[in-house]
Amino acid sequence: MTAAVAETEISARALEKESRLLEWLARQPSVLVGFSGGVDSAYLACVAHEAVGADRVLAVIGRSASYPAEQWAAARAVAAKAGLHVLETDTHEMDDARYAANPSNRCYFCKTELWSVLGHIARERGIATIVDGTNADDLGDWRPGAQAAREHGVHSPLADAGLTKAEIRLLSERRGIPTWSQPSSPCLSSRLPYGTPVTVERLSQVERAERALRAMGITGDLRVRHHGEIARIELDPALLGEWLQPARLRAMRDAVLGAGFARVAVDLRGFRSGSLNVLAGVGTA
């Protein structure tokens, strides 16, 4: 099979899944989308906008210290380009001691807060259906937040349609949604090993460090993992050779020291999702 044929087949499968998604969405009287401005929720919001109708879709951004400021700016920009109705609201998971203690099911407490707040908004506005951007790949990962979504009656139509991340990127590109090539960007708390308390100060250190590295021109996947005094940088594996050159390594170190870490180390394997999970013995990386 040639690469072109394989790509066509993938594309055909993705389009078929998208048709099922559109059919399901069209049956909903109104939809509230939990909207982070990431690849999945941006695609879902845009498709819902088409299937349900602009005035019957509300994209809600839940803001807290656990997401970088740039993410909200990107979410607003995507929503404006797509003509989405957007509501921004604050969430307070940091005030929940169970979340702040950073157990391995931390995401459950975060999503419980998020879906409680968004559920309240949906009820107030008479919105029938709440959806999130969980995709088919997420189902095999360690995702305690999914339990909170189920408990709050949140639907995951991307996963139900069997859409994978790669397919969502492909379909987003076809629709001209600017997030199609955007790196995944989970919340900043995911940079702290389980058991390390989540504090605004630690999240701010990570946010500043990643911003400084992006400012140096680092593209693709990037995470600064917080190991106390050590920042462990994970880069796109394809870029490692380039950034391990002495001058660049020194520049990265100095940038991250400026964010408040005492020591800086670069991971030799590079980025992989959930690398802190293996230290806690949950999930894979």
Q: By the criterion CB under 8 A, which residues form the site for another protein?
A: 227, 230, 232-233, 240-242, 244-246, 249-250, 253, 263-269, 275, 278-279, 285
Q: In the complex with another protein, which residue's Cβ is closer, 64 or 277? A: 277
CB of 250 to another protein, least distance (A): 6
Report the half-sphere exposure of 247 (CA within 13 A, side-chain side).
1
Cα separation, 143 vs 106, in Å, equals 10
CA distances from 199 to 21, 61, 229, 262, 280 (A): 39, 21, 15, 18, 19
Spell 80-111 as b/e; 16+ CB within 10 A means b: eebebebeeeebebbeeeebbebebbbbbbbb
Comparing CA positions, the residue from 90, 25, 89 lying closest to residue 59 is: 89
Buried-exposed string 12-27: b where 16+ CB fall within 10 A, e elsewhere: eebeebbeebbebbee
Return the structure tokens found at 130: 């709440």
CA distance 79 to 33: 12
Nearer to another protein, 119 or 237 (CB): 237
Contact 28, 157 (CB under 8 A): no
Query: Shortest gap between Cβ of 257 and another protein (angstroms)?
Result: 11
Least separation, in Å, of the C-beta of 68 and another protein?
23
Question: Which of residues 119 and 274 has its CB atom nearest to another protein in the complex?
Answer: 274
Smallest gap from residue 40 Cβ to another protein (A) = 27
Q: What minimum distance in Å lies between the beta carbon of 156 and another protein? A: 30
Give the dihedral sign, CA 273/202/238/12: positive
Instruction: Please report how close the Cβ of residue 252 comes to another protein at its closest, in angstroms.
Output: 9
Tell the smallest beta-carbon distance from residue 215 to another protein (Å): 20
User: Which residues face 90 on adjacent strands?
Assistant: 63
Q: Residue 160 or residue 267: which is nearer to another protein going by CB?
A: 267
43 or 261: CB nearest another protein: 261
* CB closer to another protein out of 87 and 240: 240
Residue number, 219 or 245, with CB nearest to another protein: 245
